[in-house]
A = this chain, B = another copy of it.
Amino acid sequence: MLETIDPGKKISKEDYKEWFPRLKADLRALQQKVREAGVPVLILVEGVAYAGKADTIRQMADALDPRGFTVHSIDLPTVADEERPWLWRFWVRSPSRGKIALFERYWYIRVLEERVEGRIPADECTYAFQEINQTEEMLADDGAIIIKLWLQVSREEQKKRLKRVAEDPFREFDPRGGSLKAYKKYDEYQTAVEEMLVRTSTHAAPWIIVESDHPRFRRVKVLQSVCETIADALNKRQANEACPEKEKIERVSVPALEEMPKVLDRVDLSLSLTEEEYDSEKTALQAHLRELQFHMVKQRLPMLMVFEGWDAAGKGGSIRRLTANLEPRFYDVYSITKPTPEELARHYLWRFWRRLPRSGHIAIFDRSHYGRVMVERVEGFCSEEAWRRAYHEINEFEMMLYRHGVIIAKFWLEISSEEQLQRFEARSNDETKQHKITDEDWRNRAKWDAYRGAVDEMIQRTSTTFAPWTIVEGNCKRYARVKVMKTVASTMKAALGR
């Protein structure tokens, strides 16, 4: 999940100067609405050391009317905390209705710092995630708005900041500051953060990831997300109360940051292989894959591969090359098209549960359960609530597979819009390939931007340590096919422990 984030996003000084004061005014106006509506708001700011948590709190506090908010800074538990159930210190700090509570760190300290530093037993985490979700659900059911911000900084940026602090003569102001310890455990923390994001990004209280290498970007995204979440929640509340006379609350007065670079923008589509490179790599890889498959069968490991990508991105071709030399008794390719009436009549995950691989078998999904958050979302085949809920559902589904021992590899085949157009035209002009291009493909193409936004969110929200997405640069088919084969091989190798 975090590897898909670009913590280095920035905005210009000019935009910042124009937007930030406006967002502060927005937040202050919303605070008034929060008071009127009488809902409690919890804003939880989490992040590794020196991610900018304190500054984030400061900026929000600066925008707010001091009579309506409180700030809580949570550190490791005191003796008094430890003498109570661990959630006690959070419960007693609940804001009252109409008030905003800003928390620098919250109960996630339990599943991050206390976990990584070994202060709690290993199995405690399973309980903790459950209790966190239960408690957030209780608070949300009671009307609370819970906003969870994760400030993500890159390894390099964190190191720079820690060094700067070490040289600060006043560093003693921060009792735990200046230590490079946290930096040394960067990877351990990232793994713990990943699991936390997956297990606790519920529909009631999803995480918002804030790219935080650049303070201007961080500040703007934080205020914008907070304002939008509060406005959306209040509007929903009004709609439920069915007060049509009430005016809809404006979300924010600045342009959407969604226009910022996406995961897909960072893909280098110029990557390519020559015919010769391809031929030699392909033959070796196919032989190697057959050998690896043999060991997968022997060790009875089940594997699931998911292929998603633009129309004409080359999913079918990649799958064919991948499986060319595999033993067919132990793999199945499922082409997922429009659901049958039987499938439509059930939960959307049903058709994928039915197609799960057995021990020692490989199931390859040519299109998959991700349709829920792509085509069904963009075409309006399901409600917004349904596809929003689906990210968490899909993560939980894949977590269940992972717990059973299923090895998961997911591929997004990326091509440029121009490349797609060329391929469409080539197909139309080639009689043997005309069946592969339909009116629907052209209609989908017209919605390129909407799909691109959905794909971006999908990859960010569902790329997990146990089921990561691999983005495949697909303008050169040869390059794409080799990358798919290489990734599958290395995934299998890791699973086999060799």
**Candidate in A83, A95, A342 with the most chain B CB atoms within 10 angstroms:** A83
B347-A85 in contact (CB<8A)? no
Contact of A404 among B85, B349, B401 (CB under 8 A): B85
Chain B residue contacts of A40, Cβ below 8 A:
345-346
Closest to A40 in B: B346
CA distance in complex: A345, B98 (Å): 8
CA distance in complex: A83, B358 (Å): 5
B349-A96 in contact (CB<8A)? no
Interface membership of chain A positions 127-139, coded 1 if the CB is closer than 8 angstroms to chain B and 0 otherwise:
1001100100011
CA distance in complex: A411, B358 (Å): 52
Chain B residue contacts of A384, Cβ below 8 A:
none
Is A233 located at the chain interface by the 8 A CB criterion? no
B403-A85 in contact (CB<8A)? yes
Least Cβ–Cβ distance between A135 and chain B, in angstroms: 8
Chain B residue contacts of A88, Cβ below 8 A:
353, 356
In chain A, residues 346-360, which have Cβ atoms closer than 8 Å to a Cβ of chain B? 346-350, 353-354, 356, 358-359
Is A238 located at the chain interface by the 8 A CB criterion? no
A349-B138 in contact (CB<8A)? yes
In chain A, residues 49-85, which have Cβ atoms closer than 8 Å to a Cβ of chain B? 80, 83-85
Closest to A385 in B: B141
Q: A138-B349, A350-B94 are in contact. Are A84 and B358 (CB under 8 A)?
A: yes
B98-A354 in contact (CB<8A)? no
Is A442 located at the chain interface by the 8 A CB criterion? no
CA distance in complex: A415, B323 (Å): 76
Q: A94-B347, A96-B345 are in contact. Are A127 and B354 (CB under 8 A)?
A: no
A396-B141 in contact (CB<8A)? no
Chain B residue contacts of A354, Cβ below 8 A:
91-92
Closest to A86 in B: B404
Closest to A91 in B: B353
Contact of A134 among B97, B396, B401 (CB under 8 A): B396
CA distance in complex: A193, B221 (Å): 48
B127-A403 in contact (CB<8A)? yes
A97-B346 in contact (CB<8A)? yes
B141-A346 in contact (CB<8A)? no
A85-B134 in contact (CB<8A)? no
Interface residues on A, range: 35 or more
How many copies of this protein are present in the complex? Answer: 2
Chain B residue contacts of A87, Cβ below 8 A:
353, 400
Closest to A397 in B: B138
A401-B127 in contact (CB<8A)? no
In chain A, residues 101-154, which have Cβ atoms closer than 8 Å to a Cβ of chain B? 123, 126-127, 130-131, 134, 138-139, 141-142, 144
Chain B residue contacts of A345, Cβ below 8 A:
40, 96-98
Closest to A401 in B: B85
B349-A91 in contact (CB<8A)? yes
CA distance in complex: A84, B300 (Å): 12
CA distance in complex: A123, B121 (Å): 13
Is A314 located at the chain interface by the 8 A CB criterion? no
B302-A400 in contact (CB<8A)? no
CA distance in complex: A297, B178 (Å): 41
CA distance in complex: A404, B85 (Å): 5
B139-A356 in contact (CB<8A)? no
Least Cβ–Cβ distance between A136 and chain B, in angstroms: 11
Least Cβ–Cβ distance between A116 and chain B, in angstroms: 21
Chain B residue contacts of A400, Cβ below 8 A:
85, 87, 131
Least Cβ–Cβ distance between A59 and chain B, in angstroms: 27
B404-A346 in contact (CB<8A)? no
Chain B residue contacts of A83, Cβ below 8 A:
302, 358-359
Chain B residue contacts of A348, Cβ below 8 A:
142
Chain B residue contacts of A85, Cβ below 8 A:
356, 400-401, 403-404, 406
Is A6 located at the chain interface by the 8 A CB criterion? no
Q: Which residues does A use to contact B, with CB under 8 Å?
A: 40, 80, 83-88, 91-92, 94-98, 123, 126-127, 130-131, 134, 138-139, 141-142, 144, 302, 342, 345-350, 353-354, 356, 358-359, 386, 389, 393, 396, 400-401, 403-404, 406
Please name 16 pairs of A and B residues whose Cβ atoms are closer than 8 Å in the assembled complex, sorted by A: A40-B345, A83-B358, A83-B359, A85-B401, A85-B406, A91-B349, A92-B354, A94-B346, A96-B345, A126-B130, A127-B403, A138-B347, A138-B393, A141-B389, A142-B348, A144-B347
- What 6 A-B pairs come out closest when comparing CB atoms? A96-B345, A91-B353, A85-B404, A83-B358, A83-B359, A97-B345
Starting from the known contacts A88-B353, A127-B403, A138-B349, 6 additional A-B residue pairs (CB-CB under 8 Å) come to A80-B358, A83-B359, A87-B353, A96-B342, A138-B393, A142-B348
